A and B are shown apart, each in its own frame.
Chain A
Amino acid sequence: MIHKEIYTIWLREVKKALVDKWQLIISIGWPLFLIFALGIGIDSFVDVSKLGVSYTELLGPGIIAIFAMAGSMSIGNNLIEDNKGFIKELLVAPISRSSIFIGKVLGEMTINLGTTLIAIIIFLYFVQLLSVTSILLSLLFMILIAFGFYGFGIVLSSLFKKTKSYQIITDLLVAVMIFLSGAFFPTENLPFALKIFVFVNPLTYGVDGLRTILVGFGEFGLFIDALVLIAFAIVMLISGSYLFKKSLEK
């Protein structure tokens, strides 16, 4: 019966999201706008062809990874927030706590990854690299990214939510992760001090993995990328679900 419970909660999340058409259009359009506005702009006066790709191609997977990360983090975040609202209606229903957790994760993830996937397809179409393999592989990688940062969002909000500096802490962390992930530039020639940040940043491996899959340019190799992301996801999901359950028990 548990699959039915999960399905119900998943369905609610998806139905709610589909009502807001503008939200959907914007979440598909926004990353594409960034990729092409910034990419074409920089390509117009800097020549990066020695890398074997254009700047637009380099930037695209980076931006997509960033959106997959940010979306997932805010989902984790909202889950803790939701505690006061609708979740009560779920908690008094005769369904298991795990169904609620899993259903919500899968539901919001479906929307987040769905919109990002559409953005990927449009991006690939425009850079003329569209292929079924890269779409499927990139979906797999985005799921890894999503799970990891979903858990990370829950961990962050349960640790810091009560402090005033919560917003600043998360904003700062997200900014560091975005700019030191190689999303905007290859990290090879960075000074050592910055490279350390790049190496411990899980997003780096998401960006690198997606870039390898989508435009065939990467630094670490898919195997390493996947391994790091899987390890990150496992650690974050275990601590995240523990902290989530704890937040329900008062």
Chain B
Amino acid sequence: MADNNSIIIKGLTKNYGKLTAINNLSLNVKRGEIFGLLGPNGAGKTTLISVLATLLKPSKGKILVDSYDVEKEAKKVRESIGITFQETILDLELDAEKNLDFHGMLYKIPKELRKRKIKEMLDLVGLSEHHKKIVDKFSGGMKRRLEIARGLLHNPKILFLDEPTLGLDPQTRRHIWDYILKLKKKEKITILLTTHYMEEADYLCDRVAIIDKGKIITLGEPKKLKSQLQGDIIKIKLKKFGKRLIEDFKKSNFIEEVKISQNNINLLVKNAESKIVKVVDILKNNETEINEISIHKPTLEDVFLNFTGREMRDDT
């Protein structure tokens, strides 16, 4: 196909019995981009990746991966993709090299080429020194890097990363991010990743689709999504507050939007630094006790909150 889309999803619905995991979702992923699916647990991200990777059959809709139909040309799709799963799926009792070698055999890579590719991939993810080490002795981050190396071994055109940094500590997470960015530069492949970490999507992705309850809520470059929220966020944590306070906030002319979740109030304000005094005044007039008040630039978290009225953490 002459177009420059790597993945085309038209009207995908996936039902598990009565439960609808994905609801009439359409989406295009461009060649060579890092595309992020961002959403809380249970939003349908993993289901979506499983359908794209031919592990699950769609209930409805047409899906092309690397211009092959996932239902009719599943084998062609499988040849074009690489994947890392949410959970660690490695042969822990074997060494790193054997893990990759077995994968290469599955994809019928000839022996000589296999050897070369294994070396190259271990190099890419910084595991060359550990090629003979039993995988069971690897740290969480090393295992994940090995899985990424494995996913890349057969030169896939598209790489799926399902929650690539789930359960890793912040420092290791950073490392993985850098490897992913390096990969994009070097290998020129399309990467589709799911995450429920906002910073991850923000840091890595060219475009992000925020999904919730099996639907895309909004889609775009992280920068643009954030700038949709015009202004800064004033975050206020209160012990308790009444309806009148919210009314007052809504009445004031300098506050663009008021969002409430539990005991937190988020105000969307332009030039927050100069308006914070006014906000405190309103709080004082209402005799509310302030636990915390802060200004910050909008993050994807705020975008999510803005579109769904919930915080992502609520669902986890």
Residues on A facing B (Cβ under 8 Å)? 1, 4-5, 8-9, 11-12, 15-16, 19-20, 85-86, 88-95, 249-250
Contacts and interface: CB of A to CB of B under 8 A. Distances in A.
A92 B54 contact: yes
A250 B106 contact: no
Contacts of B203: none
23 contacts: A4-B105, A4-B108, A8-B105, A8-B106, A9-B106, A11-B102, A15-B94, A15-B102, A16-B93, A19-B94, A85-B87, A85-B89, A88-B89, A89-B89, A90-B106, A91-B54, A91-B55, A92-B55, A93-B103, A94-B75, A94-B76, A94-B107, A95-B106
B107 A12 contact: no
B85 interface: yes
A4 B87 CA distance: 28
A85 B79 CA distance: 21
B106 A93 contact: yes
Contacts, number: 54
B93 A8 contact: no
Nearest to A12: B102
B78 interface: yes
A12 B93 contact: no
Nearest to B107: A93
A94 B79 contact: yes
B166 to A, nearest CB: 16
Among B76, B94, B102, B107, the one with the most A-chain Cβ atoms within 10 Å of its Cβ is B102
Given A16-B94, A93-B78, 12 more contacts: A8-B105, A12-B102, A19-B93, A85-B87, A86-B89, A88-B89, A89-B85, A90-B106, A91-B54, A92-B53, A92-B83, A94-B78
A20 B93 CA distance: 8
Nearest to A17: B93
Contacts of B76: 94
A19 B91 CA distance: 11
B268 to A, nearest CB: 43
B237 to A, nearest CB: 41
B56 interface: yes
B98 A15 contact: yes
B180 to A, nearest CB: 19
Nearest to B102: A12
B187 to A, nearest CB: 19
B57 interface: yes
Contacts of B55: 88, 91-92
Interface of B: 16, 53-57, 75-76, 78-79, 81, 83, 85, 87, 89, 91, 93-94, 98, 102-103, 105-108
Contacts of B108: 1, 4
Given A15-B94, A19-B93, A88 B57 contact: no
Contacts of B78: 92-94
Contacts of A12: 91, 102
A249 B57 contact: yes
A86 B93 CA distance: 13
A5 B106 CA distance: 7
A88 B16 CA distance: 19
B273 to A, nearest CB: 50
A223 to B, nearest CB: 42
A239 to B, nearest CB: 23
Contacts of A4: 105, 108
Nearest to B104: A8
Contacts of A86: 89, 91
A91 B56 CA distance: 10
Closest 8 pairs between A and B when the two form their complex, measured CB to CB:
A94-B78, A93-B106, A8-B105, A94-B79, A19-B93, A94-B75, A92-B53, A12-B102
B18 to A, nearest CB: 15
A91 to B, nearest CB: 6
A153 B56 CA distance: 25
A88 B56 CA distance: 11
Contacts of B98: 15
A22 B75 CA distance: 39
Contacts of A250: 16, 56-57
A11 B101 CA distance: 11
Among A11, A16, A92, the one with the most B-chain Cβ atoms within 10 Å of its Cβ is A92
A15 B53 CA distance: 28
A136 to B, nearest CB: 31
Nearest to A18: B93
A177 B98 CA distance: 40
Contacts of B56: 250
B89 A8 contact: no
Contacts of A20: 93
B107 A16 contact: no
Contacts of A249: 57
A94 B103 CA distance: 11
Among B79, B94, B108, the one with the most A-chain Cβ atoms within 10 Å of its Cβ is B108
B91 A16 contact: yes
Contacts of A16: 91, 93-94
A88 B76 CA distance: 17
